[in-house]
Amino acid sequence: MPGIEDVEREIKIVLRGEPEILFDAANYLISTGGKRLRPRLLLTFNDALGGNHEQAIKAAASIEMLHNFTLIHDDIMDKDETRHGVPTTHVKYGEAIAILAGDVLQSQSQMEMARATEGLPKNKARHLLERHAHISTEIARGQTLDMTFEDLPYEKFNSKLYYSMIRLKTAVLFSHACWVGAYLADASSSLANKAAIFGLNLGMAFQMADDILGLVGDPSITGKPVGSDVRNGKKTMPIIIALSKLSGEKRLKVLNMLKEEDISVIDDIVEIGGIDDTKLLMNQFYQKAESVLSAFPKSTQIEDLRALLSSSVVREK
C-alpha cells in the first residue's frame, strides 16, 4: 500500500512553478504538518478493495491540496493568525498572495484528480471529475453558513442548523475521500456508497472533536489560541448544548458573555455539561461509522480504517 510520503512527494512535484513566492505559499501550510487523515482514508479504502496505487496516490494528493485550499481561505475569513503552531499563510505571505496560493491549490487539485482518472472509461472518469468539482461548491456552501451563523443571534441557533453546516463544511470532504478511494478501486455502487457514509459520519464526529478542542484544547498542542471559537462567534455544539440546558438569569448571563466574546464563558459551558454531552453525540456518529465497516471483507486495511476512525475522535489536536 502506498504511504503518505508518496502523496507528499507527488504534491511537491505538482506544486512547482513561478513566481516562486506563489508556489512557496501554496506549499507552506502543507509543509507545516497535519494529520493527512483524508488522504490516508482514500489510500486505505483503495488498497482494501484492490485499487491501482498510482491512481490512488494522485487522487490522495488532489484531496489534500483541496483541503489545504479551504484552510488557507478559512484562515483569512476567520482572521486566524496561527495554524499547526505556526503563522497562517496570510500572516506569513500577506493576504493577496495567500488568496492566490489557495487558488493554485484548488486548480491543481482538479488537475491532479484528472490525472488520477487516466485509463478509466470516459463515463466513469467524467462522473468522478464532476463529483470532485461539486465538492468545492459544497464546502463553500458550508463555509458561507459558518460565516452567516456568526452574525445569527445565539437564541436563534439550533442543532439542526449546526448539523447542516458541519456536514457541508467538514464531513463532505471526508465522505468524498472515502468514496473516491473505493470508486477508483472499481467497487460496486453499494460499497462505494458505504465508504462515503463511513466518511460522512467520521467527519461529523471529527468536527465535534474540533469543537471540544476549540474550547478546552491545549493551545501548545492544538496550535490554536485559547477561546478562538468564542472570539469569532462560532456556533459549536458544546455552546448549543449548554444554552439548551439553561434558563432564566443563568442563561442570560452565558448569552451575554458569548456576545461579549468573553472566553471565561468556557468554564460555564464545561460546568453545565456542554463538553460531556458533545462527547456523547460524537460517539453516536463514531458508532454509525464503525458499523458501516462490517459491510467490507475483513482485512488489515479495514482494521486500519477502524484505527483512523478512532484517531479522528480521540485526539489532542
Q: Which three cell numbers stand for residue 106?
A: 484548488
Residue-wise pLDDT tens digits, 266-285: 999 999 999 999 999 999 99
The region of weakest confidence among 184-193, 217-226, 273-282, 292-301 is: 217-226
Percentage of residues of the chain with pLDDT beyond 90: 87
Q: Does the pLDDT value for residue 100 go beyond 90?
A: yes
Range of the domain at 290: 4-313
Q: Does the pLDDT value for residue 158 go beyond 90?
A: yes
pLDDT band at 161 (very low <50, low <70, confident <90, very high): very high
Percentage of residues of the chain with pLDDT beyond 70: 100
- Give the model's pLDDT for residue 268: 95
- The size of the chain, in residues, is 317
Contact partners, residue 173, CB within 8 Å, separation at least 6: 38, 63, 66, 67, 70, 135, 139, 203
Report how far Cα 308 is from the mean position of its chain's Cα atoms: 14
d(CA 106, CA 185): 24
d(CA 104, CA 97): 10
- Give the model's pLDDT for residue 221: 79
Residue-wise pLDDT tens digits, 213-262: 989 888 777 767 778 789 888 899 999 999 999 999 999 999 999 999 99
Handedness of CA 168, 87, 40, 305 (dihedral sign): negative
pTM (2 d.p.) = 0.95
d(CA 304, CA 176): 18
CATH number at residue 50: 1.10.600.10
- Give the model's pLDDT for residue 25: 98
SS3 call for 246: coil
DSSP state of 81: -
- Give the model's pLDDT for residue 36: 96
Q: Does the pLDDT value for residue 211 go beyond 90?
A: yes
Q: Which three cell numbers stand for residue 69?
A: 485550499
Overall number of domains in the chain: 1
Q: How many CB atoms lie within 10 A of CB 184?
A: 25
